[in-house]
Chain A
Amino acid sequence: MKLNTKKRLQRPVYAMGMGGGGGGGMGGACFIYDNNLQANNTLVTPDVVFQRSIDMNIPLTMDDGRTVNMWGFSDGGGGGMGGATFPSAAMRVTQGQIVHSILSVNMMWAHTIHHHGIEPGWESDGVGHLTWDVRGTSFTYQWRPMHAGTYFYHCHTNTVLHAEMGMYGALIVDPPEGPGTLYENGPTYDVEAFWVVDEIDSSWHTLPWSAGTCGADVGLNDLNPDYFVITGVDGSGSSAFGAAAISPVVQVGQKLLARYICAGYHPQRIDFGGLTGTVYMSDGRPLPNPVQATELRAHSAERYDVIFAPTEPGEYIISTDIIHWVSGEVLGTTHAKVTVVA
């Protein structure tokens, strides 16, 4: 295989600046770099392929009966619409595999996939303004994850809006040992939970995909959430207690791995409800010395992998406060439950 080590950045010609969409208009799109798209000339035969397309109409029903529209990635290709969930379908791979993520987008909007915490070549990084946005075509991102752990993938076009709208999914890299081991030669686990905590400002959820890009003041500097979700479920009450992937049942003697992802934009504080966990990893890297914790604080896109070995049967409520980035005020709280049985 020829290594591309001498490759220089080709700065693309940027065709789209202000204008095009009519500066300031709600229907316009500015600083979108779909015209720069180049074929990915690093591609080799993959071990794993994920197909993703776009769904801009995912109704999410909240505990108060209201429905909020979410956006996401459908599991499947072809640039079609529909079928996505919130969060989007997870990607799960094994360390060392060569992976292709093929994103298909129709002409109506632009998006990318950025595999957060994965560090690929720049052409596969999915950052619109440094490479290109994808619109009216498909693009293949290539990556070879070398560190097991917890990641997520999300859109990196008008990111402030698109990630808030829900365009993300879990990305898990298993070590060579496979699921059940956290990282190579690392600790094992029997049960797995996903605590992906996010806040939603429903006033943002009627905006068009390019909102604000031409300079209109659409309030994207000020996120005032009115809903709080954990792994796609309204977490304000007990709605997440029935979902096994969020609220697991663990036997005494078993080990529970919680993969916690701070998926919002405000800081969070997660409280383990009386359980003490061992934090083995953060952001896809083992800690040199694992630390014991009954709570953690985290900010946007941080991940923590915590293993619990509970000894006392009971119900433990995992609560996560979402904390205003300026005032420190608790804006809302999500809840999950760990049930420990004898």
Chain B
Amino acid sequence: MSTVASTAPRRAWSFRQPSVIPGFGLTLGFTLTYFSLIILIPLIALAVRSAGLGPEGFWKAATDARVLGSLRVSFVTALIAAGVNVVFGTLIAWVLVRYRFPGRRIFDAIIDLPFALPTAVAGIALTAIYAPNGTVGSLFAPLGWRIAYTPAGIVIAMIFIGLPFVVRTIQPILEEVSHEVEEASATLGANRFQTIIHVIFPSLMPAILTGFALAFARAVGEYGSIIFIAGNIPFVSEIAPLLIYIRLQEFNYVGATVIATVMLLISFALLLAINLIQAWSRRRYGYGN
């Protein structure tokens, strides 16, 4: 008995990390409750509802050709859009941080507009511009390229709504990249290009991954702006959220929750993967401690 008592204070693990800030129990309790009410319970309800079909019925509904087609359209376009946003978002963040030019503040403020604009307005505006008779669309029409009413249109809409996420995650990190590190690189003989590739870019990598994840998540979930520009042709330009909506209108609630659950699972897997890569790169690049 006495040996047990003497080892009792050394527990194998504990929730409680010694910390100078009190209130760990309270904040954790609040966080979990809040998280459950707002996020977990609705998601579980979704899963339970779709599970009502049984494994076989679920599989059948999930692998329906039209469902698979819409999932492919959604995820492929979202990945392409997030990839494009990462490239140009990084460039825009670079220009905003590194150069001083007239109108920079206004330009900086405009970046956030896609956050604020009702998505339907964005969709209608983009459709008007990229339609074959629109300002930009008419330039491409003679080449035989159609943008609106094709998956290309979906990508454009997704780029539009996802851009601020990338710019706003990279901008603050870029501002903090120490000038001295760049100078060190220059004194060691590296030219501008080598400095960017070998010194600056790697230190932005975690932020770029975060930006990619956010832009991707936003694009997958987007509905309002895309349905105007997509054309919504099944198997070609019909996105999964739209198909969910169609199922609901057919009063096929279970069919709708099945698609939603599959979307959720794929998104979760992708975001988890991105998060893991990011955690690894942060550790590797010496952040977070």
A binds B: no
Q: A residues bordering B, Cβ < 8 Å?
A: none
Q: Give me the interface of B with A, judged by CB distance under 8 Å.
A: none
